[in-house]
Structure 1
């Protein structure tokens, strides 16, 4: 059974940038609550059987934030620090992100509190299929479309969509981020990192500068960070520092990014790639560079780190890497922050392409995918930059303003997953908090 979750009737307190955007948009109290409070918070037990025969009951979360512009959309993460508050925050970010870039989705996020590193392949498969069973009543191509996130990837999505097919009937569009042979997009793996560089390059050109010769420091060298580094170098930039969870490497004349990619693919840390000088992990935060790209977990750039940054631009490849206090310091120091809901939106744009192709029975080739990805992100960037100039505000405030205006213009969605789950109520089913009527 689901566990009952107390529902709060208070409107959540928004972060400063969103608060400023709400003020600029002039939203009333009713619309404010609709924009801030999630539609549903779902917490369910997920039994996971381990290879040694033991079973552990995990907590699985799915937060459905807003679906007025289309089906709920958001990744599934597996991490030992996942909690309800984090998932609620990330689901809200997805709502604003999808609205900003204009894709026909709402916002959601899911997570399981677990360290996945010790898991065997069979345990990972049981986890993915267990998530499908636990949330089968929520997931669907027209209702709530999951995708990979922290510590999940195409293989996990393959198990997920296969199990959903057994339970709900086959539908490739019910999950994105799948392997290409199962209907996945040929450009989905690189879309978040490539899209971040699309945004950066376009911003530099729009402000009279160029990516060629720009020096980047990248914190985090997983899927997003590695693709940021690869794409930046391909377009003429120089990557001078990279950090992963084990350490950092620094080279003012430029690192061999492909050597770093090969090392990580072989299971080695970046400091064992044979390029650059090994340094402590956090040394990347103070490297002299033009662009600092946090591409790991959130909360990295607090006020102290923002004071030490030696970059003119922060490219937010991760979700929420800059705290409000860090944001204020960056603003005071004149550091431009390309915000996460714009900078890392390439992933959800790529998911849209995959979802659309699955429904149409086609598949974009890589050239078409990357061209259309850049077009969508350039258009979103231009809307943000224009709003920033018009209202004399930061790019983060401007990005949220554009998103809020598009959400308000969308109004209420006439139909959606509420019909499958049950009529909206404060608590519908045990463990499903529905805040639409609050």
Structure 2
């Protein structure tokens, strides 16, 4: 496996907190990927996330779209997002890597960081947005800015459209998988770990599809109701970090420590918060038909191998949670209108195509869904490279691969 194109470790001169920036690949001189704030975040984690962004970008490639995939990048800060120093540390980190943000790295919210927060800090540093590097390449950047601003202004039942598209894609991935495997969607059950942008939206749209969300885990613990939770009430009662106010629970809802989410029987298990939360030692506890990775890298490889051997497929992160990143660029490049209807219709079509292609290929080859998705991403990456070129790390042969195994 070749090294990333750019790898930076930053130390905050005030607090000593570490921050990391990794550009895995560049396409047309550009990379895309969010910035997370998480206590315990490491360079290795950010490196893996950046590689995942390379895969996400390639996976959704459609030659009929105006959007041509970018390379993959990611940033991370090793700090509790609830720490009162977090915004100041974020400001100093972005100031330190500002030249890369201006010219190459297009970023946005990720775990522990809200888009409005990073937008505010970026404005203080003189950036009109956190995707200025892409805007600089467009002939009509003003129109693209307008589309993105209008899209983020859309409210869907009390939640910003920008906070819904990623989780909507996760939910649709799970629903399409149920349909393809013959499990009736109406009456199916789901457990969602994490209740921020991805987890909250996934729970909403699973419930609206007829799936009963029987448990949700947030920082404060597990909320469970085997008859189905009132997801909309929980969304209305969560704080900016995705923690639900327990006073809003119904008498029939129960609470428990948050590590109990793995033990709840369900059809769809949706880890939608942190990385590395499903280990090999956890596999005997899991009583689910499938795992849908709403978070980035939540399932460790040895755990996934055991799940596969037990007949529990894992729909990988770079397939299941790709829609936040894709939606940004579909909006910027004009492949969707800045409306919920246009956005959701595009996501529906792409999810159905991707899950179908990957599932059929996995069945034909006798491989995992992840292996099939990687193969699709590689094929797409080769098509992108033929069209526009790619700058990566290592030898030309390694660069041509673009999507690393």
Secondary structure of the corresponding residue to residue 24 of structure 2: strand
Write the distance in 1 (CA, Å) between the matches of 2:352 and 2:390. 30
Say which SS state the counterpart of residue 137 (structure 1) adopts.
helix
**Distance (Å, rounded) in 1 between the aligned partners of 2:147 and 2:196:** 18
**Partner SS, residue 295 of structure 2:** coil
Structure 1, unpaired ranges of 5+? 1-10, 12-32, 48-54, 419-423, 427-435
Q: 1:400 to 1:350 in 2, by over 3 A?
A: same
Deviation of 1:128 after TM superposition, in Å, equals 4.1
Summarize the Cα distance change of 1:237–1:331 in structure 2 as closer, same or farther, 3 Å threshold.
Answer: same
**Is 1:282 aligned to residue 259 of structure 2?**
yes
Distance (Å, rounded) in 2 between the aligned partners of 1:58 and 1:280:
29
| 1:61 paired residue number | 20
Residue 74 of structure 1: CA displacement?
0.5
Q: Greater Rg, structure 1 or structure 2?
A: 1
Q: Is the 8 A contact 1:161 1:172 kept in 2?
A: no
SS of 1:44's equivalent in the other structure is strand
- Deviation (angstroms), 1:44: 3.0
Residue 168 (structure 2) pairs with residue 206 (structure 1): no
Q: How does 1:321-340 map to 2 (within 5 A)?
A: 321-340=298-317
Q: 1:355 to 1:60 in 2, by over 3 A?
A: farther
Paired residues of 1:185 and 1:350 also in contact (CA < 8 A): no
Change (3 A) 1:346 1:178: farther
Alpha-carbon offset, residue 265 of structure 1: 3.2
* TM superposition shift of 1:343: 0.8
Give 1:161 shift: 3.9
CA contact (8 A) 2:106 2:133 kept: no
SS of structure 2 residue aligned to 1:221: coil
TM-score normalised by L of structure 1 = 0.76
Return closer, same or farther for 1:166/1:91 CA change in 2, 3 Å cut-off. Answer: closer
Instruction: Please report how far the alpha carbon of residue 311 of structure 1 lies from its aligned counterpart in structure 2 after TM superposition.
Output: 0.8
Counterparts of 1:181 and 1:368, CA distance in 2: 15
Indicate the residue corresponding to 1:72 in structure 2: 31
Tell me whether 1:156 sits opposite 2:117 in the alignment: yes
Q: Residues 404 and 210 of structure 1: is their aligned pair in 2 closer, same or farther, counting only changes over 3 Å?
A: same
Any idea what the Cα deviations from partners look like across 1:231-260, whole Å, max 9, x if unmatched? 111111111111112211221111111222
- CA shift, 1:150, in A, is 1.2
User: What's the secondary structure of 1:109's corresponding residue?
Assistant: strand
1:115 paired residue number: 80
Indicate if the aligned counterparts of 2:163 and 2:197 stay in contact, CA closer than 8 A: yes
Give, in whole Å, the separation in 2 of the partners of 1:169 and 1:392: 42
Match of 2:287 among 304, 307, 310: 310
The structure-2 alpha-carbon separation of the partners of 1:110 and 1:349, relative to structure 1 and needing over 3 Å to count, comes to same
Q: Secondary structure at the match of 1:327?
A: helix
1:295 pairs, out of 272, 275, 279, with 272
Decide which of 329, 335, 344 is 1:352's aligned counterpart: 329
Q: Superposition pairs for residues 411-430 of structure 1, below 5 Å?
A: 411=385
Displacement after TM superposition at 1:104 (Å): 1.2
Q: Deviations over 1:356-408 (max 9, x none)?
A: 25xx9x95111111111222222222221122122111111111111122223
Query: Per the alignment, in what secondary structure is the counterpart of residue 249 of structure 1?
Result: strand
Gaps of 5+ in 2: 62-67, 137-143, 155-160, 396-401
Deviation at 1:129, TM superposition (A): 3.6
Name the structure 2 match of 1:41.
7
2:158 corresponding residue in structure 1: none
Give the equivalent residue in structure 1 for 2:106: 145
TM-score scaled by length of structure 2 = 0.82
Q: What is the rounded CA distance, in whole Å, between the counterparts of 2:354 and 2:146 in structure 1?
A: 26
RMSD (CA atoms): 3.3
CA–CA distance in 2 between the matches of 1:168 and 1:277?
42
Summarize the alignment of residues 200-239 of structure 1 with structure 2, pairs less than 5 Å apart.
200-239=174-213
Residue 241 of structure 1 aligns to a residue in which SS? strand
How many angstroms does 1:287 deviate by? 0.8
